[in-house]
Amino acid sequence: MAGRYRFALSRRVGHFCAAIPAGLRSGQGLSNLGIGPGDHVATLIGGRPEWFYLSYAISLLGAVIVPINITFRRHELEHVMICADV
């Protein structure tokens, strides 16, 4: 059954096995920036395929994903950032 499972990101379809190397590369970059277990990482990517890889990388590092909605107004963004300790 290897390679059977797929995911759809916008109009592109990918294999989960392709997400592993992309997630590892992103994770290495985040680790180089000092992101590690327990850190909170805000993401603002707006539904792009890169969000999938980035969220996977953040999870691999043991950090916490804080997705930011691109439609947030200033007060909503401030509230999320404060509550999520970002």
Q: What is the pTM of this model?
A: 0.73
Domains, the chain: 6-83 (3.40.50.980)
Cβ atoms 14, 23 nearer than 8 A: no
Which CA distances in Å does 17 have to 23, 28, 50, 51, 58? 10, 18, 15, 16, 17
Would you state the pLDDT for residue 70? Answer: 86
Would you state the pLDDT for residue 1? Answer: 43
pLDDT one-digit tens code per residue, 13-71: 566 677 788 888 889 999 999 999 999 999 887 777 788 888 889 999 999 999 888 89
